[in-house]
Chains A and B, each alone.
Chain A
Amino acid sequence: MADQVHFELVSPERLLFSANVSEIVIPGTEGDFAVLPGHSNLISTIRPGVIHVMEGTQITDRIFVEGGFAEVNDKGCTVLAERAQKVDEIDRRLAEQALSDAREDVEDAKNDLDRNAAQNAVAIAEARLHALEGSVY
């Protein structure tokens, strides 16, 4: 259909989401962008954040991704993400735990490699908690 765009969310382990929707808002590295039908071809990396799937003006799904990349072409929009979970399924306690663990790792890191990895983990954990705070859309 002309007013719908095919959206797929793929993880290495399985196809997580596949449906025709009217709009998707994706947290790109350089800022959020919305994909509507007829969007120009685009490849973008994704920062840790929430993908909003919209039906009309209604948000139907909020999916947290830890990063990945998105490809938009005339056939639809595909997001490749290593790890994704629905925002409703995030466990606040686990998320807070992950954040404090990651912060400790940053403190304990002995070399740049470890520190970078730990800082990434902090960013992911912060974004996950932020996702729980509610939607801006």
Chain B
Amino acid sequence: MPSLKDLKVRINSTKNTQKITSAMKMVSAAKLRRAQEQAEAARPYAERMEKVLGALAASMAGKDNAPALLGGTGRNQVHLVVVMTSDRGLCGAFNSSITRQARKTARDLRAAGKTVKILTVGRKAKDQMKREFAEQIVASFEEIARPRITFETAEKIAIQIRNMFAAGEFDVCTVVYNKFKSAIAQIVTVQQLIPFANAVANENNAGPAALYEYEPSEEAILTDLLPRNISMQVYRALLENSASEHGARMTAMDNATRNAGDMINKLTINYNRTRQANITKELIEIISGAEAV
């Protein structure tokens, strides 16, 4: 039976924790809004890029001289898996669901006899992947979201990927990140970055493609566009991920605040009972003392 003082201490410490979690929830809510705005702002660019690229890729898809970023290297042996997580924890299952998927992808590839290389973005990705795949991690980026995610940081990552591809260090590149659906739902997404897999899928939704003049040639534009597209896709994944992170943290902290509330209620009831029991005990002692006289 804990003493009254112990209970009081526990109640107070739980209250302090609750204050922290509810503050974190509020901060995450604000950050989530900002992340969503940023993702919103990136949309016009991404959409136009996709449209133009879809039209171009569709017309180039069948040709042999398509750039390697579009058509691939013709091999399928070395896979680069880009794992994107956050730098910070306390956001529910956000990071672990990404790394779980990434580990599964990596294991499947390895089982199929492929060589796996891993590039991590975010401190959690590195920490959680290095347990099983320490030797496969070829590069990692950390603290990229501070003060905020910029296109420059995305480009830095993209340049690293492109340089590795140009040096023939891998054949296929996939990105694992969380797609933002709502504050409570994030979808772990595995997206192929290189070769540009959407080419054929986009052909259908591009609709009746308007006839364009190309200056310079289609091929030259495509060569120019594909690297930009990789930067854009990385940027987009980073933004989606950051919105998801804040959403996940908001939900997690909301739960934590509610749990703390429940715990405080239970402890308070316990505290009051113990207090009453003590009073009753003291009364009995006084009465029985008086009777004995």
Contacts and interface: CB of A to CB of B under 8 A. Distances in A.
A43 interface: yes
A43 B221 CA distance: 8
Given A29-B220, A43-B213, 11 more contacts: A13-B150, A14-B42, A15-B41, A41-B212, A42-B212, A43-B212, A43-B215, A71-B212, A73-B210, A82-B151, A82-B155
A13 B213 contact: no
B235 A12 contact: yes
Contacts of B42: 12-14
A10 B44 contact: yes
Nearest to B167: A113
Interface residues of B, number: 33
Contacts of A117: 159
Contacts of B151: 11-13, 82
Given A40-B213, A43-B212, A71 B41 contact: no
Contact of A80 (B49, B155, B235): B49
B45 A12 contact: yes
Nearest to A113: B163
Contacts of A10: 44-45, 48
A45 B46 CA distance: 16
Interface of B: 38, 41-42, 44-46, 48-49, 52, 56, 150-151, 154-155, 159, 163, 166-167, 210-216, 220-221, 224-225, 228, 231-232, 235
Nearest to B218: A43
A82 B44 contact: no
Nearest to B150: A13
13 contacts: A10-B48, A11-B45, A13-B41, A13-B150, A41-B212, A42-B213, A42-B215, A43-B52, A43-B212, A43-B213, A68-B228, A69-B224, A82-B231
A4 interface: no
Contacts of A15: 41, 44
Nearest to A75: B210
A80 B166 CA distance: 25
Contacts of B46: 12
A6 to B, nearest CB: 13
A80 B159 CA distance: 19
Given A29-B215, A40-B213, A43-B214, A12 B52 contact: no
A30 interface: yes
Contacts of B159: 117
B235 A71 contact: no
Interface in A8-65: 8, 10-15, 28-30, 33, 40-45
Contact of A41 (B49, B163, B211, B235): B211
Contacts of A11: 45, 151
B41 A14 contact: yes
Nearest to B56: A43
B38 A13 contact: yes
A11 B212 CA distance: 22
Nearest to A82: B151
Contacts of A43: 52, 56, 212-215, 221
A69 B52 contact: yes
Contacts of A30: 215-216
